[in-house]
Amino acid sequence: MRILVCVKRVPAPGARINVTADGQTVDAAHLGFTTSPHEECAVEEAVQLTEAHGGEVTVMTLGPAAAEEQLRYAASVGAHHFVLIPIDDVDWDPQRTATALAEAISAVEETDGAFDLILFGNESADAGGFQVGVRVANHLDRPIVNGIKGIEVPADGAGDVVSARREIDGGFEVYNVPMPAVLGVKEGINLPRYPTMKGRLASKKAVVDTNERTVEAGGQVRLRLHRPEEQISETIILGTGPEAASAVVDLLEELGVLA
């Protein structure tokens, strides 16, 4: 099987996210970065499929030069080929991103043949737009199903249909999708492995191909990023033991719980 996974470089979870003064971008001065969690699971799923059925995994990202770090992480957990679409901006709008990815995918396929599967994260951890994977599938004229929590391919890996499972209330929906296909993977489909020391060393030698793309901006325009005000909660100890009873009654009356 030939599987492509598209990933995105995003701020590491748990960090304090600040916005630049103009409200247009995230202030990355003191941030760490990682692969978007849904896409980390997509890389793991692709590696597991090729380990079971044979084949190769290609990982592609659109981002700054520093996004090569995320490609090398993918190399450390078993991916084989890597493509960086470099951009100078911090981020592109979904339409522009999807067009660039679709063009780069087509260029790779013209040289090496079509991918059986293209995996995206269900949505990115930063923008959460749910658009890029759908737009790429539309560009490539391929079927897509999002929200995937399970993927099965023919035992020999050479069939023409992939079975994709999506979780719903009380069970699962199962889609039999003709390949080549695009799937949006959700976190929880698997437990991503940790890179071994051997994998980390090998990732330093991985060859990252650069695929330059010139694409016009799409119709969507970012107005500003808004960081909600922090809500600070305060805990007051009313007392301990029987001595606290009167304070509790007073508080309940204040809240209007007691008539």
pLDDT digits (tens, 9 = 90+) for 92-110: 788 889 999 999 999 999 9
The CA distance from 117 to 46, in Å, is 9
Residues 26, 219: Cα–Cα separation, whole Å = 21
**Average pLDDT of the segment spanning 170-174:** 89
pLDDT tens figures, 50-66: 999 999 999 999 988 98
What pTM was computed for the model?
Answer: 0.81
What pLDDT does 255 receive? 81
Averaged pLDDT, 110-117 = 93
pLDDT of 206: 92
pLDDT tier at 156 (50, 70, 90 boundaries)?
Answer: low
Predicted local confidence at residue 89, as pLDDT: 74
More confident residue, 104 or 155: 104
Q: Provide, rounded to the nearest whole percent, the portion of the chain with pLDDT above 70.
A: 97
What is the structure's pLDDT at 223?
Answer: 77
Residue 185 vs residues 15, 16, 52, 118, 195: alpha-carbon distances, Å: 24, 27, 19, 10, 21
The reported pLDDT for the residue numbered 38 is 92
- Confidence check: pLDDT of 79 > 90: yes
45: pLDDT strictly greater than 90: yes
pLDDT at position 208: 92
Q: CA-to-CA distance for 9 and 61, rounded, in angstroms?
A: 8
* Per-residue pLDDT at 191: 93
pLDDT at 158: 57
Contacts by residues 128-136 (CB-CB < 8 Å, ≥ 24 positions apart): 129/94, 131/94, 131/95, 131/98, 132/6, 132/94, 132/97, 132/98, 132/101, 133/6, 133/182, 133/184, 134/184, 135/94, 135/95, 135/98, 135/99, 135/102, 136/6, 136/98, 136/101, 136/102, 136/105, 136/182
**What pairs with residue 20 in β-bridges?**
none
Domain ranges of the chain: 2-210
- CATH number for 2-210 (one of 3.40.50.620, 3.40.50.300, 3.30.56.10, 3.30.465.10): it is 3.40.50.620
Q: Which residue has the higher pLDDT, 190 or 234?
A: 190
CA–CA dist 78, 4 (Å, integer): 13
- Taking the CA of residue 103 as centre, how many other CA atoms within 13 Å lie in the half-sphere pointing to its CB? 15
Residue type, 234: E
Average pLDDT over residues 166-170: 88
* pLDDT value of residue 192: 92
Residue 188 contacts residue 149 (beta carbons within 8 Å): yes
CB 37 within 8 Å of CB 186: no
Q: What integer is the mean pLDDT of 165-187?
A: 91
pLDDT over 70 (residue 157) = no
